[in-house]
Chain A
């Protein structure tokens, strides 16, 4: 087989396999004829009717807003706290026990407490809940990124009388950025999971609410349409983030490619 045919075959497989999986799903649901598993085609029609775009504003937008706010707050706090913690060993040893405890805590275990403490089942509780648990991957990665900076660089900047703030802005932050963005990517997929779970529990709106509500009212086609939507949401957010990351870290990739490791 020539390399060329091989490459063509590979691309063909990349296209054919997903289509085959979807076909198998459709054929199986037609064959099973089970109300729990509506046909894929029925789900897709329902998907179009629900989400494009009649219920989009009432159910998808609140969820997206919660993810965006929670993730945004977590990023600001994670980087804002992670840089000083990464730079100072003593503050770090004060903070680490708490960070280790909370990041090992499974998020759903705090759902009831978050409602009691915040007196809210609305956006306040959902956003703070997402922000709290998205904080840890970003915080830990920022700390690691800051700690991994070559001390010579910092000493050089210091001996050139670069002020502390300028050192952080021009040296520490950019140097830690690749690792910060790795933490952000972990947090973003966590945000989607936490959004769904927090909307399962005492909620009146959002994709997770629609999903559980359709199941409770035995509307299985909307239920599957909601699952499909959540899957797409997770996938698209991931793709969007990777595109943004590629732009923002273009300098880093160029540098990596140019330096022998």
Chain B
């Protein structure tokens, strides 16, 4: 979208653009849509050819058409959609729990200088710990259940959200807070009307990072711990050597990732429409 904004600002700002300029603008727009489509089609054809020609044997890389046919036949089964939902559920519960925990804690740690420095070291230490390292402990304690998957997704998603919330709260313009104070806004009201809104863009960035981490961890839990979902299906398909099923599942997971990304971008536009980063530059 920013590409289009750039293209628009390149055009002359006068009321009536010359015919040549408007023709160029139209070609630009058509190319902007056509090139990505062509590029995807080319890649798919290349995949098909690499596999059919035997450059990489079909046993290792099933042809594109085979993988998509496999995906299509999976999509007609109820089990596939059940597994799909289980993965989405793990991701969703994880991200919601992480938000409910991280945002209030982040606001407290961010608005208190004292608490912020008291917990700085533990946070800095826990944050980069790869949550996947906790899988063995979860095996021992909670076992291969949905709760393990949710714990893992929540734990992974918690840290980026927490850190972004702390940054966001610290970055509130002190002038606005002081203005609010001199207008007699109470502590809670300042929090609700000033601190939280100005921290929202930061929190949103944290949410985007957290969302992809939660998906990774939900899938990882399914792959390694055998909690139900697409990851578990992939593990089963892989152990039986059903390569085309593994590819079809990978395609499905990729589409899930893209879908989540698109939903979040659409939400971002609605929630942050007031924020300067979302406004296109007025010419």
Interface residues of A (CB under 8 A from B): 6, 9-11, 13-14, 16-18, 21, 36, 89-90, 92-98, 100-102, 104-113, 116-117, 119, 189, 192-193, 196-197, 200-201, 208, 211-212, 214-215, 220, 223, 226-227, 230-231, 234-235, 237-238
Contacts and interface: CB of A to CB of B under 8 A. Distances in A.
A26 to B, nearest CB: 15
A119 B57 CA distance: 12
B124 A235 contact: yes
Nearest to A102: B254
Contact of A235 (B120, B125, B238): B125
Interface stretch (B35-43, B76-84, B269-277): B35-43
Nearest to A15: B121
B34 to A, nearest CB: 9
B254 A109 contact: yes
B162 interface: no
B260 A230 contact: no
A217 to B, nearest CB: 11
A136 to B, nearest CB: 10
Nearest to B43: A98
A93 B32 contact: yes
B61 A117 contact: yes
Contact of A109 (B61, B141, B219): B219
A120 to B, nearest CB: 12
Given A21-B122, A109-B253, A112-B246, A197 B129 contact: no
A223 B136 CA distance: 8
B257 interface: yes
A90 B35 contact: yes
Nearest to B6: A89
A98 B43 CA distance: 9
B220 A112 contact: no
Given A200-B135, A212-B135, 13 more contacts: A13-B117, A14-B117, A14-B121, A93-B36, A101-B258, A102-B254, A105-B257, A108-B231, A193-B131, A223-B137, A227-B133, A235-B124, A235-B129
Nearest to A18: B121
Given A231-B125, A234-B130, A235-B128, A220 B223 contact: no
Given A10-B113, A93-B3, A111 B223 contact: yes
Given A90-B31, A105-B257, A113 B140 contact: no
A113 B258 contact: no
Lowest 9 CB-CB distances: which A-B pairs, in order? A104-B257, A215-B136, A234-B128, A13-B118, A112-B238, A193-B130, A231-B129, A109-B253, A106-B216
A192 B136 contact: no
Nearest to A229: B133
A107 B223 CA distance: 11
Contacts of B125: 18, 231, 235
26 contacts: A11-B117, A14-B117, A14-B120, A18-B122, A36-B140, A90-B35, A94-B38, A94-B39, A100-B261, A101-B254, A105-B250, A105-B254, A108-B216, A108-B231, A113-B246, A116-B61, A117-B56, A196-B132, A211-B136, A215-B139, A227-B133, A227-B134, A231-B126, A231-B129, A234-B128, A235-B128
Contact of A231 (B133, B215, B231, B253): B133
Nearest to A94: B39
A223 B134 CA distance: 10
A17 B223 contact: no
Interface residues of chain B: helix, strand, loop or mixed (majority): helix
A109 to B, nearest CB: 4
Interface in B18-45: 31-32, 35-36, 38-40, 43
B249 interface: yes
B246 A116 contact: yes
A17 B121 contact: yes
A106 B132 contact: no
A93 B31 contact: yes
A79 B7 CA distance: 25
Contacts of A21: 122
Contact of A107 (B43, B129, B216): B216
B144 interface: no
Contacts of B117: 10-11, 13-14
Contacts of B212: 104, 106
B258 A108 contact: no
A21 B249 CA distance: 42
B247 interface: yes
A230 B129 contact: yes
Q: Which of A107, A108, A201 has the most CB of B within 10 A?
A: A108
A97 B223 contact: no
A101 B238 CA distance: 22
Contacts of B254: 101-102, 104-105, 109
A17 B119 contact: yes
Contacts of B219: 106, 108-109
B223 to A, nearest CB: 5
Given A13-B114, A93-B32, A100 B258 contact: yes
